[in-house]
Amino acid sequence: MPNSYTEMALGRTLVLSVDRDDDIGYKAGIVSPVIGREECLNAAVNLALADPEDSDVNAIFQAVKTYDELKAAGEDVEVALISGNHMHMIEGDRRIADHLEMVVSQTGVTSCIMIADGAEDEFVIPIIQSKLPVASIRRVVVSQIANLEGTYYTIKKLLNDPKFSRIFLVPLGLAMLLYAGANQLGNPQIATIIVVGVIGMYLLYRGFGIDDSFRGFVRALQTSLKRNRFSFATYIVGILLFVVGIVLGLMRILEYYPSDGSFGILQYLMTFIYGSVLWFTLGGVVSSIGIIIDNFFYEREGLAKVIVFPFFISAIGLIAYGASIYAMSVLKVAEFPYSTDTALQYIFYGIIGGFACVFAGVGIQRYINRWMVGHQPDEEFSEVA
């Protein structure tokens, strides 16, 4: 990439440095967005004093250098620095979009030259392009000698990074702890199975984005606590029931685990569902009842949307429970108390019960919608009065 840029025919150019993981805020306490040459230089100096090895320092200085070159060439140009979130990339990307809108409105720029210090910052290019045309991208790479000491220090720095430790070290440590505990109980085969199962659940947890849903649940729990809502109590009960379901599901696996170790993945899954799904269902129903009560008292306009939650959760639980019984009977799990004929009845009753719950939920939702329409004029009149 050359050091000089061709002059733009029209408009004002923004030289933009993006710090996606918000090192300037996390390490140096600098609030984004930062607009102007002197402000960006101060941000770079403060970040360098807080962490001289941070590559974002070089990216900010490169942005200022590019700004000076374009300014000397007679272009109408501005320089700015925006950042995301150090721990939560989704929230950080939304923050980058909001801050870029602020920069555009304050500076009146019509295009930008993006300065990035690595591939991670370049992930936000579509976000930048959705707000402002990107005329050029400059990636800053710090030159250094790769040696054993540098590799050691890089590993040490990764281990001290809270993002890296939370994603990799926590599940690895938990797997090792489970292996050691199960091995002490005298069954190394079970230890291996538990470790592989835990790692598999963690990969699914990350791959399906369950971590985002979990963060949303935590925020809902915090909100219900701060606002003294009834749902806080039902959330706690639901969590306890969910934990009970996990424990009982694992106990079922240990109960039906064959001595010859012939269990496959499907047997593990069905056995776990058989032991835990009713507790999961009960926890979901209890939690959703709290949401319904809160909506009835505080946000009645959303009552029709949440009234179906316990019915749909119950339907899923009943069908899953019947399916797990039938699957275990077909798979010939040793010492399983239900025959194939009996299991057919369970899955039949589960499907019938599930559909009954769905129809009941939809019917009640329609009744609530009609009830809300009937009471809307009175509410509007009372507000006017």
What's the chain's average pLDDT?
79
Q: Name which of 121, 136, 177 is nearest 7 in CA terms.
A: 136
Instruction: Read off the pLDDT of each residue in 241-248 and give the average, rounded to a whole number.
Output: 90
List 157's β-bridge partners, or say none: none
Does 23 map to a domain? yes
Instruction: Provide the number of structural domains found in the chain.
Output: 2
**Element holding 16 (H helix, E strand):** strand 13-19
Query: 235 and 363 share a domain?
Result: yes
pLDDT of residue 312 exceeding 70, the answer is yes
The pLDDT-based confidence of 185 (bands split at 50, 70, 90) is low
Examine residue 180 and state whether it is found in any structural domain, yes or no: no
Residues 134 and 215 in one domain: no
Same domain, yes or no: 86 and 217: no
Task: Indicate whether 220 and 342 sit together in one domain.
Answer: yes
Average pLDDT over every residue of 150-173: 63
- Whole-number percent of the chain with pLDDT over 70: 75
**Is 293 within a domain?**
yes
Give yes or no: residues 21 and 129 share one domain.
yes
Domain assignment of residue 154, yes or no: no
What separation in angstroms does the CA of 17 have from each of 80, 81, 100, 102, 298? 6, 5, 11, 15, 44
Last residue of a domain, one of 139, 156, 182: 139
Contacts of 1 (CB under 8 A, 6+ apart): 136, 138, 139
Q: Closest Cα partner for 217 from 283, 312, 282, 170?
A: 283
Residue 282: which pLDDT band, with cuts at 50, 70 and 90?
very high
pLDDT at residue 17 tops 80: yes
SS3 label, residue 77: strand
Q: Please give the average per-residue pLDDT across 159-170, as a whole number.
A: 65
Reported as a pLDDT band with limits 50, 70 and 90, residue 381 is very low
- For 213-240, how does the pLDDT look when each residue is reduced to its tens digit (9 = 90+)? 666 667 777 777 777 778 788 888 988 9
In a domain, 24, yes or no: yes
Are 133 and 277 in the same domain? no
Average pLDDT for 149-156: 55
* 114 and 228 housed in the same domain: no
Domain boundary among 139, 163, 197: 139
Residue that is written with structure tokens 């005298």 in the block: 186
Q: Judge contact between 252 and 272, C-beta under 8 A.
A: yes
Instruction: Give a yes or no: residue 157 inside a domain.
Output: no
- Residue numbers of the domain that contains 326: 210-375
**Which residue is it, tokens 């579509």?**
126
Higher pLDDT, 363 or 140: 363
Of 92, 109, 139, which one is at a domain's C-terminal end? 139
Which letter, b or e, does each residue of 144-168 get, where b requires 16 or more Cβ atoms within 10 Å of its Cβ?
eeeeeeeeeeeeeeeeeeeeeeeee
Q: pLDDT-derived band of residue 147, with 50, 70 and 90 as boundaries? A: low
pLDDT value of position 145: 45
What CA–CA distance (Å, rounded) separates 285 from 275? 17
Predicted local confidence at residue 82, as pLDDT? 92
Residues 222 and 133 in one domain: no
Which H helix or E strand runs over 207? helix 188-207
Residues 221 and 362 in one domain: yes
pLDDT at 361 over 70: yes
Mean pLDDT of 153-171: 64
In a shared domain, residues 97 and 238: no
User: Band of the pLDDT at 149, cuts 50, 70, 90?
Assistant: very low
Give the pLDDT score at 5.
42
Check: pTM over 0.75? Answer yes or no.
no
Over the stretch 95-141, which tens digit does the pLDDT of each residue have? Answer: 889 999 999 989 889 999 998 876 566 678 888 888 888 888 887 76
H or E element that contains 330: helix 309-330
